[in-house]
Structure 1
Amino acid sequence: MKVFGHRGYSGMYPENTMLSFQKAADTGCYGIELDVQLTKDGQLVVIHDETIDRTTDGTGAVVDYTFEELRRFDASAIKGGTHGFQPIPSFEEYCEWVKERDLVTNIEIKSGVYYYEDIEEKTVEMVRRFGLTDRVLFSSFNHASLFRLQQLAPEIPRGALVEYVDLGNAGYYCERYGFQNYHPGVEWLTEENVKNCKAHGVGVNVWTVNDMGVLEKLYEWGCDGVFTNYPGVCKAWLDTREA
C-alpha cells in the first residue's frame, strides 16, 4: 500500500508548505498530495482552500491576490506560527524541489468552487517543463478537469475524487471514462466498491486516513494507497506489517 503525505506532513507541520513537504519526504513515504490554484496574475500556487483565511494570517480569496501579494502572508499561522514564517509556495517552486527526489506527486486541481481559466494547461506545462510526467497523477472533484487533462496529457494517470458519499459501481464509472484511479473519502468507502474497482482494473486511493484501525481495514481490503496527515506513522505501521 502506498502512503501519500496529505498536503505534506500536515498533521504536525503547516499544510501545503515546503516545510511540510520536506518533513513528509523525510519519512520515506511513497508520495505527496497537494492542491493547485491560480492567483490574480495567473500563477500556479499550492494551497487547499479557495480563500487564505483558514491557513494563513490573511483574509480573502486566492484569486484576488497576485502571487507576490500572497507571498506576504504566513502559511504557518494554521499551526500557531510556531514553525517560523512559511510562505505559500508556487507550484514551480515545488516542482523544482521534487524533481530531485524519489517521490510521486498527486496534484489535485482545485476547480470545483472557482473554475480557473487554463489551470489544467498551466499545470501540465509545468509538469512537463520539469520532466515529472512519469512521477505525477492528477485528481479533482471536478471531473470536467479530468476530462480536459485526459486531452492534454493522456499519458498521466487521473483519479476521480468523490466527496461525502461513496459512488456505486465506481470501478465501471472510472473505467468507462478513462480514470485510472478512484479517490473516495474514507468515511463512506465500502469493501464492495473496492472489489468493484479491482474488477475493472481501477486503483483505489483513500482520503484522509489518520486512524490505525481504519488503515488496517483498508490494507485488508486491498486498497492501493492512502492519503494521510501523518505519513510517518502510517509508513512505520505498513513497514512493520509487510516485514
Structure 2
Amino acid sequence: MMKVFAHRGFSGKYPENTMLAFKKAAEVGCYGIELDVQLTKDDEIVIMHDETIDRTTSGTGYIRDYMYRELCLVDCYGKFEGEYEFQRIPTLREYLTWVKDTGLVTNIELKNSVYYYEHLEEKVIDMVREFGMEDRVIFSSFNLVSINKCKKLLPEVPMGYLMEARMDNMGFFTEENGVEYYHPDKNFLTEEMVQDCHAHGIGVNVWTVNKKELMKQLNNWNVDGIFTNFPDRAKELGLEK
C-alpha cells in the first residue's frame, strides 16, 4: 500500500505550511508530512514554499530579506483569509519539537533551486541530528546538486530527486548517484517509468495527487507514495499507510 504524505500539511482545507495544517493532517491520518524550508536574513530555518511571502501571508517581500522576528508579525492565512485564527510562519525547530512525538515521517524539501541559500543543507542537517530524527525524514529538492551534497553529509537519510519535467532513465540516474527516491510530477509519469525505477531499487513518490481516481491508479501502478493536499481522500479510499 502506498504511503500518503500530506503536502504542506492538510493544505486543501487549512493554510499551507502552518502548524494548524500539520496538526490537522496528523488528526485525519497519514504516513507523513511534506514541507518546505528556507532561511531568513538572520539564518532561522522557516517553513514556507514560495521565496516571497506575498501569496500566503498578509505581508510582501522575500523571506531572505526579513529577520524572523519580523516575519512573526505576518498572518500566514494563504487562500483562507479570515477563516482561521492568526497563523504564524513556523520554524523547523517548532515543527520538529511537535512531530518528534507523533511517529510521522517528514519529507523536508529544500527550497534552494530558485534562490540558493548558502549552508541551508548544513543547517537543516544539524537540526535533524539535534532532534534525532535521522530515521524519520526524507530530503528532497529540485536542486539535484544540493541533494547530492546532503547525501554526502547525511548518508544514512534517504534523499529524493524532485522533477517537474520528464527525464528518461531516472532509475539508472538516481541509482548511480546513490539517491533512494524519484519524486516526479504526476502529469508526465507513466507506469513504465515506475517499473524502471523499481527495477533499479528506486522508490517513486508522486506530487501533487488530489483526485481520488488518480490516487487509485497510482496505487495500482505500485508507486511508493503520493503527496496530496487532501490526505482525508486517501483515507476514504483506504489507501493511507
TM-score normalised over the length of structure 2:
0.97
What is the CA-CA distance between 1:137 and the residue it aligns to?
0.4
Contact 1:13 1:19 survives alignment (8 Å): yes
Matched-pair contact (CA < 8 Å) for 1:166–1:190: no
1:75 positional shift: 0.4
Q: Secondary structure at the match of 1:79?
A: coil
Say which structure, 1 or 2, has more relative contact order (CA 8 Å, 6+ apart).
2
The one-letter amino acid paired with 2:39 is: L
1:158-194 C-alpha deviation (Å, 9 max, x unpaired): 000001x222111111101111000000011011100
Give 1:25's aligned amino acid. A
- Distance (whole Å) between structure 2 residues aligned to residue 182 and residue 71 of structure 1: 34
Q: 1:167-182 maps to which residues of 2 (within 5 A)?
A: 167-182=167-182
Q: Percent identity?
A: 55
2:192 aligns with 192
List aligned pairs for 1:135-150, cutoff 5 A.
Answer: 135-150=136-151
Q: Which amino acid aligns with 2:157?
A: I
**1: CA distance between counterparts of 2:37 and 2:182?**
19
Deviations, residues 71-125 of structure 1 (Å, cap 9, x unaligned): 1110014311311100000010001000111100000000001100100000001
Paired residues in the alignment total 240
Please give the alpha-carbon distance, in whole angstroms, between the structure 1 residues aligned to 2:96 and 2:113: 23
Match of 1:152 in 2: 153
Structure-2 change in CA distance of 1:2 and 1:77 (3 Å): closer
Partner of 1:21: 22
| Gap runs ≥5 in structure 2 | none
Deviations 1:107-156 (A, max 9, x none): 00000011001000000011111111000000000001101101110000
Separation in 2 of the partners of 1:191 and 1:9? 27
CA contact (8 A) 1:8 1:23 kept: yes
- Partner in structure 1 of residue 79 of structure 2: 78
Residue correspondence of structure 1 range 44-59 to structure 2 within 5 A: 44-59=45-60
1:221 is matched with which residue? 221
Letter in 2 for 1:121: E
The 4+ residue runs of structure 1 with deviation greater than 6 A are: none
Q: CA deviation at 1:234?
A: 1.0
1: CA distance, partners of 2:135 / 2:225: 17
Q: CA shift at 1:239, angstroms?
A: 4.6
Q: Aligned ranges for residues 226-237 of structure 1 at < 5 Å? A: 226-237=226-237
Letter in structure 2 aligned against 1:196: D
Segments of 5+ residues of structure 1 without an aligned counterpart are none
Question: SS in structure 1 opposite 2:4?
Answer: strand
Matched residue SS, 2:238: helix
Asked if the contact 1:180/1:203 (under 8 Å) is kept, the reply is: yes
Where does 1:83-98 land on structure 2 (aligned, <5 Å)?
A: 83-98=84-99
Query: Does structure 1 conserve the Cα–Cα contact (< 8 Å) formed by 2:71 and 2:89?
Result: yes
Deviation at 1:235, TM superposition (A): 2.1
The Cα RMSD (Å) is 1.2
Q: Which moved more, 1:118-127 or 1:75-84?
A: 75-84
1:35 is aligned to: 36
Report the 3-state secondary structure (helix = DSSP H, G, I; strand = E; otherwise coil) of the residue aligned with 2:6. strand
Equivalent residue for 2:127?
Answer: 126
